[in-house]
Amino acid sequence: MFLSVFDMFKIGIGPSSSHTMGPMVAAARFLEKIRVADYSVRGFKGSLHGSLAFTGVGHATDRAVILGLAGFRPETYDAEAAEATLERIGSEKQVEPEGLPALAFDPEKDLVFDYDRALPGHANAMILMATDDQGDVILQETYYSVGGGFVLTEEELARGKDSDDGPPVPYPFKTAAEMLAMAEASGLSIAQMKRANELSRGTHAALDAGIARIWEVMDACIDRGLAGGGILPGGLNVRRRAGGIHGALLAERGTNLAPPHTINDWMSVYAMAVNEENAAGGQVVTAPTNGAAGVVPATIRYWLDHVPGATRSKVPEFLLTAAAIGGLVKYNASISGAEAGCQAEVGSASAMAAAGFCAVMGGTPEQIENAAEIALEHHLGMTCDPVRGLVQVPCIERNGLGAIKAVSAASLSLRGDGQHLVPLDACIETMRQVGADMAEKYKETSLGGLAVNVPNC
């Protein structure tokens, strides 16, 4: 089993990897299908199902599909150009993707939010259709956005194409037990095994540059969030708080008045900065999803800014270790809130951050596995219940607490020798089972939990 570090950490846009980035990617893939098809396509239609329908407006799913059909992609997204394109499509009722003629598409009529019909493959489902001159459907594809920006067609999902088609890798661990056994046999760390796997598919230069770019975008996102202010979009009138909290923390420095637990506020404010940027539709990195994008960068920033001896040269070790753990969770359970609740998003992110932090603090593979297990275990059962379908409440603060748990989990594991009762594999399987048993109203539909008990205006 191989999931690249660049699969787990994707540069994209907010507010959601599964509801914004995924649908945009799906639309881009549909354009590719149209470009090679032997059909005279004249227009598009589409429908959103399951969680994509119920929380699609709050997650900007409709905008993502429209822009995707117009040729936009998350990794090269230009906000100013996107707004101009949306305005033009709204007035002209057509899209003009590169390499294709102008195609009829009226978003108000041709993109349907289907609240009644869920599709069997995944809670995040969409159908895209190409039409002829008469408006009849001549080509159709079903896409599932399975979390973290990953998109599968109905056929791909049915045959289990969810990870890897490439050549064999030297350390193909599918479970944490296999990972630890390979580490012991090879004498390598988890990050070193992950690096070897990555290098079997690419060059040293590309890997190093790509990882550096991931951290650059993460770090810049924190800084933008700390400098931001005002009200987040969507109608809940949620104030951006990271900047104000950060200013207060800076003012307290050196006064000998701040209590020791204030360090938790530093971790939280870094995470909140990222997730406020995400909620505003800014550039973020899936880690492993947009809704959980703040946990890993906040933990890295805490380590760099507050832990003696921390150095940027070890950030790749952190990210490679975190990616290895995230790959195990995705392969054996889920990173999708629509599939397994927020335990699959912030829980997975906290486990990844705990593992990465433990690694750069000198932890053994056994201690790293223990850290990931502790962090994930204490997110089990967490629901995904965004108020008004927006990735704001409780999502923003939840990332801060995820970072705090990650650091605490790593610290606990480093106090031991890596021997512990609950294996990470058992915890991941438990998370999968809890997600399967969880009522659908608690899985990113905004039909239960906080979403129905907090006023939506």
Q: Looking at the domain that runs over 176-200+202-453, which CATH code has it been given?
A: 1.10.4100
Give the pLDDT score at 183: 98
Residue 45 has pLDDT above 80, yes or no: yes
pLDDT digits 0-9 by tens, 332-371: 999 999 999 999 999 999 999 999 999 999 999 999 999 9
**Which tens digits make up the pLDDT trace of 64-97?**
999 999 999 999 999 899 999 999 999 999 999 9
The confidence band for 258, taking pLDDT boundaries of 50, 70 and 90, is confident
User: Residue 164 has what pLDDT?
Assistant: 62
Instruction: Identify the burial level of 327 via C-beta atoms within 10 angstroms of its C-beta, where 0-12 means exposed, 13-18 middle and 19 or more buried.
Output: buried
Q: What's the pLDDT band for 256 if we cut at 50, 70, 90?
A: confident
- Residue 2 pLDDT > 60: yes
Predicted confidence band at 126 (pLDDT cuts at 50, 70, 90)?
A: very high
Summarize the confidence of residues 154-183 as an average pLDDT.
88
Residue type, 259: P
Mean pLDDT of all residues in the chain?
Answer: 96
pLDDT band of residue 160 (cuts 50, 70, 90) is confident
Query: CATH topology for 16-158?
Result: 60s Ribosomal Protein L30; Chain: A; (3.30.1330)
pLDDT beyond 60 at 327:
yes
Domain residue spans of the chain = 16-158, 176-200+202-453
Q: Looking at residue 347, what is its pLDDT? A: 98
Q: How confident is the model at residue 375 (pLDDT cuts 50, 70, 90)?
A: very high
pLDDT in tens, 186-195: 999 999 999 9
pLDDT given for residue 255 in this prediction: 82
Condensed to tens digits (0 to 9), the pLDDT of residues 136-156 reads: 999 999 999 999 999 999 999
pLDDT value at 98 more than 70: yes
Q: What is the pLDDT of residues 286-323, one digit of tens each?
A: 999 999 999 999 999 999 999 999 999 999 999 999 99
